[in-house]
Amino acid sequence: MTRYSRITGTGSFLPPDLVSNADLVERLAKQGVETSDEWIAGRTGIRVRHFAEPDVCSSDLGLQAAQRALQAAGLSPQDIDLIIVATSTPDMVFPSTACILQNKLGANGCPAFDVQAVCSGFIYALTVADAMIKTGAASRALVIGAEVFSRLLDFKDRTTCVLFGDGAGAVVLEASDTPGILASDLHADGQHVGILCVPGHVSGGLVTGEPMLRMDGQAVFRLAVGVLEETARAVLAKAGKTAADIDWLIPHQANLRIMHGTAKRLKISMEKMIVTVDQHGNTSAASIPLALDFAVRSGKVQKGQTLMLEGVGGGFTWGSVLLTY
């Protein structure tokens, strides 16, 4: 019998500190940086984002999302035999955020590790979990995207600090005898490391380099729209499907212009695209599971529908997953 994996539960969590564009404009003005709600929303589609409190880590946000996903799946932490956390903002250098979250969750004993592919991280993590379930290495996996990107922002750079927020999303992926994840497609091109990065590291007890996010926005935009179209077509071909078969496109919530550009190239109606970037900004690895959970809990996504998840991020990394929900 062929072994597949299916999503059986979704969950998400956003920190309570909601920061509107107006709030951010006021904060930046105190540092001599000029911007406006119209400038931010017009270029990105973002209206608000959430920032975590100083003592809150990625594992804390991920824990809340994981618990909600487990509840949705009707499972307990002890039922889980694999935990993968996608994050670019780990709690510490080591151990992994997944191990820290595992202990907080009370699911000790199963394999737990992080995946670092920035905004494509959840796609990478979901693909790894799917492969492990299909081979019998796991049966019930928690796949989590969690970020506290506010810690990496330079609030003197209006081109980047207005884009990002904090949050977490999670799914439970279980073994099944009916197809769930139909195909996946992953890529990376290290030639483009410099266009989106945080070029700092810890050495001798000090942070060296630049420990803040740096981005060439125009270069990212040009690359993103092209590779997102390519990976979407590739994953459809692998599954023997066409764009017409997609019920919902759930892209990485980075920038509304990139999202619209991708949908247009695939000739997918904007009404079939899940959009949450206006409510939480770019939450990197958390954005796709956040958007998926919103779509499920709002009743938009229904059982049996075909979903395309896709993301692109620093590295440069990109990829997609096609699944039957």
Q: What is the pLDDT of residues 197-229, one digit of tens each?
A: 999 999 999 999 999 999 999 999 999 999 999
Measure the CA–CA gap between 308 and 287, rounded to whole angstroms: 14
The pLDDT value recorded for residue 198 is 98
> Does residue 282 carry a catalytic annotation?
yes
User: Residue 297 corresponds to which amino acid?
Assistant: R
Q: CATH topology for 4-178?
A: Peroxisomal Thiolase; Chain A, domain 1 (3.40.47)
Sign of CA pseudo-dihedral 171, 177, 181, 187 = positive
The answer to whether residue 66 scores a pLDDT higher than 90 is yes
For the chain, give every residue range classified as CATH 3.40.47.10.
4-178, 182-324
Measure the CA–CA gap between 26 and 22, rounded to whole angstroms: 6
Sign of CA pseudo-dihedral 188, 194, 199, 203 = positive
Measure the CA–CA gap between 231 and 186, rounded to whole angstroms: 8
> Does residue 252 carry a catalytic annotation?
yes
The answer to whether residue 65 scores a pLDDT higher than 90 is yes
The helix/strand/coil state of 32 is coil
**Percent of the chain whose pLDDT exceeds 90:** 98
Catalytic residue, candidates 99, 197, 252, 255: 252
> Does residue 108 carry a catalytic annotation?
no
CA 160 to chain centre: 18
The helix/strand/coil state of 60 is helix
H or E segment to which residue 261 belongs? helix 256-266
Catalytic residue, candidates 119, 161, 197, 255: 119
Domain 182-324: what homologous superfamily?
Thiolase/Chalcone synthase (3.40.47.10)
